[in-house]
Amino acid sequence: METKLDKAAQCFATWKTTSFAERAKIIAKAGELLHARVNDLAHTMTLEMGKRIAEARGEVEFSGNIMAYYAKNAETFLADVELNPEMGEGHLESSPIGVIFCVEPWNFPFYQLARVAGPQLMAGNVLVVKHAGIVPQCALAFEQILTDAGAPEGLYTNLMISHKQSDRVVADPRIKGVALTGSVAAGRSIAAAAGQALKPSSMELGGADAFIVLEDADMELALKWAVWGRMYNNGQTCCAAKRFIIVEEVADQFVASFKAALAALQAGDPLDAQTTLGPLSTEQALIDLLEKVDMATKHGAKLALGGKRLDRAGSYMQPTILTDVTPDNPAFREEFFGPVAMIFRVKDEAAAIALANDSDFGLGGSVFTRDPERGKRVASAVDTGMMFINNINWLDADLPFGGIKNSGYGRELGAMGIQQFVNKKLVRFIKANPPA
Encode pLDDT of 360-393 as tens digits: 999 999 999 999 999 999 999 999 999 999 999 9
Asked if 373 and 293 sit in the same domain, the reply is: yes
What is the model's pLDDT at position 408?
98
For the segment 170-193, what is each residue's pLDDT rounded down to a tens digit?
Answer: 999 999 999 999 999 999 999 999
- pLDDT of residue 220 exceeding 90, the answer is yes
What is the model's pLDDT at position 258?
98
Asked if 231 and 128 sit in the same domain, the reply is: no
Asked if 216 and 162 sit in the same domain, the reply is: no
What is the model's pLDDT at position 72?
98
User: Would you name the residues annotated as active-site residues?
Assistant: 204, 238
Q: Is 274 a domain residue?
A: yes
Q: Which CATH number do you get for residue 77?
A: 3.40.605.10
Asked if 414 and 375 sit in the same domain, the reply is: no
Q: Which CATH number do you get for residue 273?
A: 3.40.309.10
424 contacts 416 by C-beta, under 8 angstroms:
no
What is the model's pLDDT at position 279?
98
For the segment 99-135, what is each residue's pLDDT rounded down to a tens digit?
Answer: 999 999 999 999 999 999 999 999 999 999 999 999 9
For the segment 57-102, what is each residue's pLDDT rounded down to a tens digit?
Answer: 999 999 999 999 999 999 999 999 999 999 999 999 999 999 999 9
- pLDDT of residue 400 exceeding 90, the answer is yes
What is the model's pLDDT at position 197?
96
Asked if 215 and 335 sit in the same domain, the reply is: yes
Q: Is 159 a domain residue?
A: yes
The residues, any chain, with a CB within 8 Å of residue 148's CB and separated by 6 or more, are 33
- pLDDT of residue 300 exceeding 90, the answer is yes
Asked if 251 and 353 sit in the same domain, the reply is: yes
Asked if 259 and 365 sit in the same domain, the reply is: yes
Asked if 265 and 193 sit in the same domain, the reply is: no
Q: Is 419 a domain residue?
A: yes
- Summary count for the chain: helices (H), strands (E): 14, 18
Q: Is 394 a domain residue?
A: no
Q: Is 401 a domain residue?
A: no
Mean pLDDT, residues 38-47:
98
For the segment 147-166, what is each residue's pLDDT rounded down to a tens digit?
Answer: 999 999 999 999 999 988 99
pTM over 0.85: yes
What is the model's pLDDT at position 34?
98
What is the model's pLDDT at position 431?
85
Asked if 160 and 71 sit in the same domain, the reply is: yes
Q: Domain count for the chain, please give it.
A: 2
Q: Is 398 a domain residue?
A: no
- pLDDT of residue 223 exceeding 90, the answer is yes
pLDDT-derived band at 434 (thresholds 50, 70, 90) equals: confident
Provide the CB-side half-sphere exposure for 389 (13 A, CA): 14
pLDDT-derived band at 256 (thresholds 50, 70, 90) equals: very high
The residues, any chain, with a CB within 8 Å of residue 63's CB and separated by 6 or more, are 31, 34, 110, 111, 113, 114
Furthest-apart CA pair in the chain: how many Å? 83
pLDDT-derived band at 288 (thresholds 50, 70, 90) equals: very high
As a whole number of angstroms, the distance between CA 243 and CA 416 comes to 28
Helix ranges (DSSP H) in 240-282: 248-263
Q: Is 25 a domain residue?
A: yes
Asked if 72 and 36 sit in the same domain, the reply is: yes
Beta bridge partners, 412, equal: 401
- pLDDT of residue 433 exceeding 90, the answer is no
The residues, any chain, with a CB within 8 Å of residue 426's CB and separated by 6 or more, are 83, 90, 91, 92
317 contacts 286 by C-beta, under 8 angstroms:
yes
Asked if 424 and 380 sit in the same domain, the reply is: no
Asked if 214 and 141 sit in the same domain, the reply is: no
Q: Is 384 a domain residue?
A: yes
Q: Share the mean pLDDT of the chain.
A: 97
**Domain range for 41:** 2-205+407-428
159 contacts 4 by C-beta, under 8 angstroms:
yes
